[in-house]
Structure 1
């Protein structure tokens, strides 16, 4: 199922808010080029929770982002039930090591006030900012290589070389 990054099925956002949120989402993707942040606003049937829909979207949705080739395991979906004022944030599997369930709960608590007041644009903007800050903090404290390959010698054990080691000189060889 193909979706926009910002889907407002309940028409809860003004055109101005939609444009502002597109800028916020673009800024997020510039800060985290491998990731995307998707938002769904709508009135959900009673048998579907915001959390269930978020899980389904991350696992089955195809989100139109600046770079369509992004994988959903590097995405997150904020689902807001505008009728009940309930929100859920679902993370792709690749983001789970960087943002804990407690972090997500805290984020949702911090956007609760604007949700109650039906200030959905503010709630989304705040959620993106908080999530980006947490992701930035977690990523900067993580090792750059993710602990998978610690040195170029590990690459050699796999039969691989770094580009610099494999580079051949572009100078023509001279015969002596």
Structure 2
């Protein structure tokens, strides 16, 4: 990850940024008491209609069904202008009760979309557990997908566009992983149509034992 304040590369267990000294404790006096947020959608700006909220939640539900390991949360908030959006996102990601207590460090597969409603801008952040798979460029692609709706203050549509693009990106990123780690379906399973067993399997294992 990078420091949300100065963008210098940071490590998971660093207590503070080695370049600028940024930490959650350092910004606590500025940020105050964090709001209690309810995932996966916290509309603190109260800008979503009931139908927009239902549509956004439906799209998020589809993402969670497809990728149950991912915890997505969208927050609509009036950000403090003097504080960088990335700092706000880092603060809410870690102090906003969006993710469970067991989702810490490398076990956190969270994705936060933070929308600054008065200024029609957004920032995204991921947990450490997703960093080996999801790059900053991937998040930028997702934010770009949401940008057209965001520019028109269509916040529900912006959330839906971001989530759909995130689902597409995750599908593209994760598809080659089995082969990358040596799990090739071509050699592991018998052909489902012909029921021809893999010759590399022991002779005593029949086709019916493979399923």
TM class, shorter-chain normalised?
Answer: 0.7 to 0.9
Given the alignment, which residue of 103, 107, 110 partners 1:71?
Answer: 103
Distance across 2 between alignment mates of 1:133 and 1:49: 28
Given the alignment, which residue of 96, 110, 131 partners 2:166?
Answer: 131
Any conservation in 1 of the 2:41–2:57 contact (CA below 8 Å)?
yes
Given the alignment, which residue of 120, 133, 138 partners 1:98?
Answer: 133
Q: Counterpart of 1:88?
A: 123
Distance across 2 between alignment mates of 1:62 and 1:143: 33
Q: Counterpart of 1:157?
A: none
Q: TM-score, normalised by structure 2?
A: 0.62
Larger strand proportion of the pair = 1
Distance across 2 between alignment mates of 1:136 and 1:55: 26
Q: Counterpart of 2:37?
A: 3
Given the alignment, which residue of 137, 144, 165 partners 1:109?
Answer: 144
Q: Counterpart of 1:163?
A: none
Any conservation in 2 of the 1:35–1:70 contact (CA below 8 Å)?
no
Q: TM-score, normalised by structure 1?
A: 0.73
Q: Any stretches of 5+ residues in structure 1 without a counterpart? A: 151-176
Any conservation in 2 of the 1:58–1:77 contact (CA below 8 Å)?
yes
Any conservation in 2 of the 1:36–1:70 contact (CA below 8 Å)?
no
Q: Counterpart of 2:96?
A: 61
Q: How many positions carry a matched residue from both structures?
A: 145
Q: Counterpart of 1:49?
A: 84
Distance across 2 between alignment mates of 1:113 and 1:47: 25
Deviation at 1:60, TM superposition (A): 2.8
Q: Any stretches of 5+ residues in structure 2 without a counterpart? A: 1-33, 184-211
Which structure is higher in RCO with an 8 Å CA cutoff and minimum separation 6? 1
Any conservation in 2 of the 1:38–1:76 contact (CA below 8 Å)?
yes
Any conservation in 1 of the 2:120–2:151 contact (CA below 8 Å)?
yes
Deviation at 1:69, TM superposition (A): 7.1
